[in-house]
Homo-oligomer: A and B are copies of this chain.
């Protein structure tokens, strides 16, 4: 029985309206003024949150899909007309609107730092302007999620990390984009079935308290579940954790060879001492093969703390704190005009200054580690690895999306070459230098503007 209420899903047919009103107002003005020369916009982080030493670029695939398919549906145009704000000429222009520009970007999974453009759009002014909001929205959630997960994965030092966070992520789109970003950053699996289907991610899960509660006794619940599913992970804290483990040992004795249990899950209480006690009890009962998973309020700090103290934990189910990047729930990611009609452009608002012109980011390595980045003009020749590469020309992708497993491997390599002080959980700053040539351009651009203004 399908509901009568209108649908509230964003998709390809309405995504063109998922923008800020002012983008359309400015486009209308540009249209009337005949201003549609080529513009260059840089997407970069103005600064990093205190608890991030590096960011992991993520979200480009969705940005490119959006740009390739961007258009205004009939109903979108009707809505815009109904606002009585836009000229008929402009609405006619929108009816055949397409994105025809170029995009340069760091590949997904690249580690980057403050003031480094991670994406550069080179397109007719109106096209680049419209795209700002959606492009930021998608690069922001992807990068936010991947950057948090990279810390958790590093702290877990090779133990399994599973994403349990869908219920607290902000909406359905964050649910799938975050799961994808987590996988790229090294998370091993997700509980999110749709993300599993869409992206081919490994899916994993255990059982909920409700399953235990629905049965007459905890023992009945364990017995039924183990009988019905292979390699189960049993949740032991519904009533009393140690009592729960004892029920499992009793069940193992009763079932003998048919006892096919992969692990237990601790979800509350003092996880450190419970894990020690659980390991002892299981080992004494000849259940050394039964692993211990922990899932109570986990993040990079609690995981590092548990492992440093020697907790015998084999894997972590990580929920809310990673799901919403709780310690840093947003990034200061911006999208700024740096060139228009071949003229470099700048901005001087306090704390929000912008470097002009097309750019390249260069990474210098030494002994298999990255040691310094340079933000320079796109036409400089530095003896260092350039990170921005063309990914879209005249509105078409240059290549098919990479398999996620390859992006994940690339991201692992990116983290491997970061200096240990940057990978660590204590604050550290990676050196990023603005080249002399770019600095000079910034000074000339500011001086020229001053001349015009006066």
Contacts and interface: CB of A to CB of B under 8 A. Distances in A.
Contacts of A28: 228-229
Interface string A19-30: 111111110111
A144 interface: yes
A26 B346 contact: no
Interface in A1-16: 1-12, 14-15
Contacts of A83: 196, 203
A247 to B, nearest CB: 9
A197 interface: yes
Given A137-B175, A336-B209, A228 B32 contact: yes
Contact of A171 (B1, B21, B69, B173): B173
Interface in A279-302: none
Interface stretch (A111-119, A186-194, A373-381, A428-436): A186-194
A337 B214 contact: yes
Contact of A172 (B1, B15, B64): B15
A11 B9 CA distance: 6
Contact of A395 (B1, B65, B173): B1
Contacts of A425: none
Nearest to A334: B167
Interface string A213-225: 1111111000011
Interface residues of A, number: 135
A357 B350 CA distance: 57
Contacts of A140: 167-168, 170
A200 B396 CA distance: 34
Contacts of A206: 22
B269 A18 contact: no
Contact of A26 (B8, B194, B208): B208
A121 to B, nearest CB: 12
A174 B171 contact: yes
A453 interface: yes
Contacts of A325: 329
A209 B340 contact: no
A439 interface: no
Contact of A205 (B20, B177, B335): B20
A228 B4 contact: no
A443 interface: no
A210 B453 contact: no
Contacts of A329: 324-326, 329
Nearest to A2: B69
B324 A205 contact: no
A114 to B, nearest CB: 17
A406 B258 CA distance: 59
A94 B216 CA distance: 26
Contact of A209 (B79, B197, B337): B337
Contacts of A331: 168
Nearest to A214: B340
A400 interface: yes
Nearest to A134: B172
A112 to B, nearest CB: 18
Interface string A99-125: 000000000000000000000000001
22 contacts: A3-B397, A8-B177, A9-B9, A9-B11, A10-B173, A11-B11, A14-B194, A18-B172, A20-B166, A20-B192, A21-B193, A22-B206, A25-B229, A29-B224, A35-B215, A125-B214, A170-B173, A171-B174, A214-B337, A238-B347, A268-B350, A324-B330
Given A39-B210, A133-B167, A209-B336, 10 more contacts: A3-B68, A3-B69, A5-B65, A18-B194, A19-B194, A35-B214, A137-B169, A137-B175, A170-B174, A217-B452
